Structure 1
């Protein structure tokens, strides 16, 4: 899941980003309303965490402009604790409103509730060949066997599934799963894919993760086992 934080207080933004990253979210941060609106309308996010008092454009303005273009869930986090402010935020189309200071555990629980609502609009279970992903509970299984994944492995699988049938480069994977610029001298992506394969592919005849030499990876179920043995490389 990818989250945008629009917050002008660096310590607050860093605190939230750290907590969400530890729970397998990929997080971008904007320090003012104008930058936040630009990212929210040009990027792809599952949720926007939006402060009210922002330089450039306040949260009310950002939400109104965003709602004219997209229906991305928006969660207000603000020091403004008047009932009128909370009511205004919800009436403008926000999905929730949390007053600062707050416990991260409560923020995380509310975020998951919002995302479950969104998952309910789509299919909460993703099925590819014998791979089954319960999106709400984040449970993964193949051929009926439970596959235990770390938070980062799940984030990597989630990215692959969202782009199933597409060849994705290491640069794109690093950007969306690790929120980092890919350094060709590092093998963080290849190591992570290898670990995911060990759990998701190696114990099963049909391979889902395929290496495209010199480009990146392809996630797809192919008919039969032909060409899917070994590391799933082709090119």
Structure 2
């Protein structure tokens, strides 16, 4: 967990530990970088504005290098645009002030998250998604995708040829915390399409959801 407010950092850490989580804390991005380099985690919690910069940019940069750890942003930046921006990089977004019980529930949900079924390689045409290695390739070329992009593509490939409803994709990638009327899913699918290049792999079924094939 990265949070520069010492009182809040301590309160959150104590609450999470009291609910059975092992927690490491950092007050800035440099500390987070060092901690992530030497330890393995099920999820990470970042305050957005900490010493060293905006954690959103930090996580976005790490995503481009294959960092796929589920991330919850904890922040006072609660505008719609800021939430959409945060959910395009992280996996959950909780605005201050918040209830500790809700934070614990969201962290628990992120830590439980994992690939569907047993690790396998899902294929459609020249697109391959390796659930065990958490890698996506097209034409044998490794693509850099975010954790949520991986989850959305995973569910689509697991149901290739069938339409996957928007609500199912949202539940798979964001649990229940994303408003189904939000355009975050559409933004993410657009980003994923650009990364997959031509010809198109993910198709829109208006008013219903998306499909592969």
Q: TM-score, normalised by structure 2?
A: 0.51
Q: 1:28 aligns with which of 1, 24, 28?
A: 24
Trace 1:1-235 onto structure 2 (pairs within 5 A). 5-67=1-63, 68-92=65-89, 94-118=90-114, 120=116
From the CA coordinates, give the structure whose radius of gyration is larger: 1
How far apart are the structure 1 equivalents of 2:15 and 2:116?
A: 25
How far apart are the structure 2 equivalents of 1:33 and 1:49?
A: 12
Q: TM-score, normalised by structure 1?
A: 0.47
C-alpha contact (below 8 Å) 1:34/1:57 kept by paired residues: no
Partner deviation per Cα, 1:76-115 (whole Å, 9 max, x = no partner): 00011111111111112x1100001100111111112222
How far apart are the structure 2 equivalents of 1:115 and 1:27?
A: 12
Uncovered stretches (5+) of structure 2, i.e. residues with no partner: 120-213
Partner deviation per Cα, 1:12-53 (whole Å, 9 max, x = no partner): 110110001111111111101122123224321111100111
Question: How many matched pairs?
Answer: 118
* SS of structure 2 residue aligned to 1:30: coil
Task: Spell out structure 1 runs of 4+ moving beyond 6 A.
Answer: none
C-alpha contact (below 8 Å) 1:76/1:98 kept by paired residues: yes
> Shift of the alpha carbon at 1:57?
2.6
C-alpha contact (below 8 Å) 1:77/1:100 kept by paired residues: yes
Uncovered stretches (5+) of structure 1, i.e. residues with no partner: 124-235
* SS of structure 2 residue aligned to 1:50: strand
Greater relative contact order, per chain length (Cα 8 Å cut-off, separation 6+): 2
How far apart are the structure 1 equivalents of 2:79 and 2:50?
A: 17
